[in-house]
Amino acid sequence: MSTGRSGALPSPLWGGVRGGGGSAGLRSRVTQPPPPPTPPYKGEERRAIFLKGALAIVLAAVVCLLALWRFAATLPPLDLTQAGLRSTVILDRDGRLLRPYATPDGRWRLPLAPGEVDPRMLAMLWAYEDRRFESHPGIDPVAILRAALQLGLNGRIVSGGSTLSMQVARLVEPRPERSLAAKLRQMVRAVELERRLGKESVLELYLALAPYGGPVEGLRAASLAYFGREPARLSHAEAALLVALPQAPEARRPDRFPERAGRARDRVLDIAAQRGVITQAEAQAAKAEPVPAARKPFPMLAAHAADAATALDPDARVQRLTIDGRLQATLEALATERANAAGPGLSTAILAIDNRSGTVLAQVGSPGYLDASRSGAIDMTAAIRSPGSALKPFIYALAFENGVAHPETLLDDRPVRFAGSYAPENFDLSYQGTVTARRALQLSLNVPAVDLLETVGAARFVARLRAAGARIELPREAPPGLPVALGGLGITLTDLARLFSGVARAGSVPNLVRRLDGPEATPSAEGRIVEPIAAWYVADILRGAPPPDTALPGRIAYKTGTSYGYRDAWAVGFDRRVTIAVWVGRADNAAVPGLVGRLVAAPILFDAFARYGGEPEPVAVAREALITTTLGLPPPLRHIRRDVPKTFAATLGVPLKIAYPPDGARVDLGLAEPGSRGSLALKALGGVPPLTWMVNALPVAEGARRQSEWHPDGAGFARISVMDATGASDSVVVRLE
């Protein structure tokens, strides 16, 4: 058996297997080992492949650059005229925005420097839009290559290759088509912008031109429109929203599509977190913030002052006023609050002046610029109105200056008829009898004021107001009469405030300053309303005027006024620092029953001083002021009596008059010499002795003779007055040298 089995092995079938024929050949192919791997390239081969790839990239880049260069040669010069167009903005003294204006084509495009933007917002912008903004020349080859590869692999645009500079180029030269030529144009312009302007200016252009929906353009306008504040401090959510909106400004407008805006904002937050600009916790907290669903109005502080500034200098895009924005805002709120409480149709105006510099700190022309029910567009600080009794202090000042009266001079407050027909009455229809000039002014008594005006002369009084720079209008251009003491003339709130500021400044009326840059309007004339001693007398009297029921006494010097028919209520107050003037009434000049200065305007005045802040500072005492009682005065100054005919001397044909020195004279007394002490001869004609001589409202000589002398302390101007026993007086101004 074994032999048979062994003989079967070399059978033809088996032998065929061994010989490799038939199926045995298939088996041999399956079982043979795989071919050895291709050996790696040698170093020379790798370098050759790298050089070929690099050469291809360089050639492609050269071709692209040549194409861009030839394309750039076909473009016209870059025009940045429209890109430089900005909204006009009015700023306060510290650079805070008071009011912006839209551009002529209706866009809000406010100027903004990169340094005025929250740094976190800029970091998000670079992380989301252009990570290599600081290093590329306007186009980013890495971003363009990445965008091209993603387009080739995905068949659609996954990420863009535009830089911020290219986006600025698109904004500077907007093109409706989306084509290769348009993209090439953006690339060329981006490089041109960076070479011409630099990184800082390109970024500034983006911040000014980026669209945010509707007429809102630029980061500053968008921050004000959607958040109501400047972009110097933004939350993470606010910054992310402002980064996202320019990508699709109309589709993502928060006031129309808040959900889309929210999703776009959240994507910016995610990318900012991924790239380390913010933490994941900050991103999650920012996503929880609501998206603003409506636009906020742009600021409109000091609207009337802004209108006046732009009318004066319409080409200036940035104008800086002297107004204090914080004080302006609080006084506008006060005016609106009090006008609403006073009744429908009533308007309120407030003006604040810095006494030292004459700068306008606040100008509230109406309770609401857009409030048509109160004629809010009319600037009531510049409207001519009747001042009522508000000008009485200047009658007293003129009397003090001319030596006619002193604060402690006694005056008669009783029924009297002037010039045969004019019979003024006090506001409460009562009379106080004999009172001091101080008390008469503090109580705003009418008869003593008219009595003093008759003494100093109505024409002279009005001339003094005009010489101080005030615009005075008289009814039908009639000559001034005694009714001007009680409001029978027209004046603006601005001029009234200037006159009272002059009292605080020792008689020198300020020339108002409204701008810190650029041209001023026709300057109000700077003049003198009274001499320093008379100014201090008035300030000291008004500081003792009884305040409103809700205010403390003795804090500010102030005066009120009520025009005939209850059409205007006034209150003007001052201390050494500031003068504030208030007017309340209707812009259409209609009567308002119960509109009384002390009841309506004075409380607003005292509230305005409280909002101004700080402790009131009284006006400094005049060094030469005569502080005494009535009995300490020279006899002619103790009591001005109407029962003594003031024209007695005239009936004798010799009215009182200063014969020497003549008015306006320059008298050389040798006072320029060290230690010299000259004397000035004083001589009067007429009058009823005894005569009292006064210099700058201070008595210097008294006696029955009509000649005297005075020894001045030094050179300068001096007002010399003389008064006789009847109260008649004369006055001159001389310059001593």
Active-site positions read: 129, 389
Q: What is the DSSP string of 340-359?
A: HHH-TT-EEEEEEEETTT-B
Task: Report helix, strand or coil for 413.
Answer: strand
Query: Rounded to whole angstroms, how far apart are CA atoms 521 and 281?
Result: 55
What is d(CA 494, CA 428) in angstroms, rounded to the nearest whole number?
A: 29
581, two tokens: 């003037």
Taking alpha carbons only, the member of 546, 589, 548, 587 closest to residue 566 is 589
- Tell me the pairing of strands 729-736 and 666-667: parallel
For residues 222 and 108, what is the distance between their CA atoms, to the nearest angstrom? 9
Whole-angstrom Cα distance, residue 387 to residue 564? 9
Query: Comparing C-alpha atoms, which of 605, 525, 526 is closest to residue 572?
Result: 605
Cβ partners under 8 Å of residue 218, min gap 6: 108, 109, 110, 112, 207, 208, 209, 210, 212
Integer Cα distance of 642 and 154 in angstroms:
107
Closest CA to 242 of 231, 257, 229: 231
How far apart (Å, rounded) are the C-alpha atoms in residues 731 and 254? 74
Residue 716, token pair as written in the block? 């300068």
Q: What's the angle, vertex CA 198, arms to CA 192 and CA 200, rounded to 5?
A: 135
Residues found in the chain: 737
Name the strands in the sheet holding 657-660, side by side, starting at the edge strand that comes first in the sequence: 657-660, 680-685, 707-710
Q: Give the SS3 label for residue 452.
A: helix
Residue among 297, 325, 321, 322 at smallest CA distance from 310: 321
